Amino acid sequence: MEFVDILLKRIEGENELKKPVNALICFSKVTTGKALGALISRMARFRPDKSSVTLLNLIDKEQARDIEDENRYKTELFSGIIPSAEANRLSIRTFVKESENYVEEILRTAEEYDCNLVLLGIGSSLFNPALWHKYLQLKESSSMSELDFSSLLARNRLSIGIFLDNNYRDGNRIFVPLLYQEDAYVFPYLYQLAKNPDVTVTIWDAIGLMESDPKFQKLFQFIVKKTDGEVKLWDNNKKIELDFIQQQDLMIIGFNGWEKLIGSPLSWTSHLPSVLIIKDSKQALK
């Protein structure tokens, strides 16, 4: 089955979107955890009541030594994350884990709690596209030295979203570049977000996917209809300017598209909002 048919089945039939989402949210910084909590609440708002979120705060030995009272730390840590999730009828699990191998901890937790989506958050101190030119390896970054992205992506068989937190507040204005055909795997995610009130999505179809493929046209038209026209195409006759990028709250992009974008000469790539990079489970199986 061509992947466009997979997407049509997912969204037009909404078969998979009717299944509960069991998300594992991994983060080191509190602000990033709060941002991811708000994001998953929006993404799962229209999913069934049995959806769940497992919050995993990964810390190293130095961070663990700084925690004087573990119960107080957990209470303060998760108090800003749990309310938004509970408001959307999501069941919550919370963990604080000291680990020397974040990859193993993430994979083990995802398997133990039967998660079907992993969201991994990175704080703004690491928000530097220059670090992401090859397989998203950030081994030399001190605060995330325990996490090798290339290993995680190679071994993980679930859908994974890598969230680059750049002072995320809300996701009302979303920008979605399509630089490869496979970047369309982000459609189910933007579709779920676009169903929320006050959300507008702008798709930059840089490769003319909607014009050249009738199936993608059908998919896009369905999404537009179901979101009351809040998903729109960027006019390719216009240049994307920095002021437009600075008005956006979130960029959603496919894994391949992200690597191409940050390697491009476009000046605005150094001024991006928060970014959600998607690698779908169908891609992981390749």
Which residue did the predictor score with more confidence, 206 or 255? 206
DSSP 46-95: TS-TT-EEEEEEEE-HHHHHT-S-HHHHHHHHHHTTHHHHHHTT-EEEEE
CA distance 121 to 29: 8
Is the pLDDT at 15 greater than 50? The verdict is: yes
Mean pLDDT of 124-136: 46
Which residue did the predictor score with more confidence, 217 or 147? 217
Model pLDDT, residue 148: 59
Angle value at C-alpha 101, between 99 and 105, nearest 5 degrees: 75
Domain limits of the chain?
3-284
Tell me the CATH architecture of domain 3-284. 3-Layer(aba) Sandwich (3.40)
**3-state class of 245 per DSSP?**
helix
Model pLDDT, residue 76: 85
Which residue did the predictor score with more confidence, 82 or 150? 82
Model pLDDT, residue 124: 52
Q: What are 43-75's pLDDT values in tens digits? A: 888 776 678 899 999 988 888 899 988 889 888
Q: Which residues pair with 93 in a beta bridge?
A: 54
Q: What is the pTM of this model?
A: 0.86
Q: What are 142-188's pLDDT values in tens digits? A: 344 445 566 666 666 778 888 988 888 888 999 999 999 999 999 99
Model pLDDT, residue 5: 80
**3-state class of 275 per DSSP?**
strand
Mean pLDDT of 106-119: 91
Where does the chain have alpha helices with state H? Answer: 3-11, 30-43, 61-65, 70-79, 82-87, 102-112, 149-155, 187-194, 209-212, 214-226, 242-246, 255-262, 281-284
**Burial grade of 271 (CB within 10 A; 0-12, 13-18, 19 or more):** exposed
Is the pLDDT at 260 greater than 50? The verdict is: yes
Model pLDDT, residue 29: 85
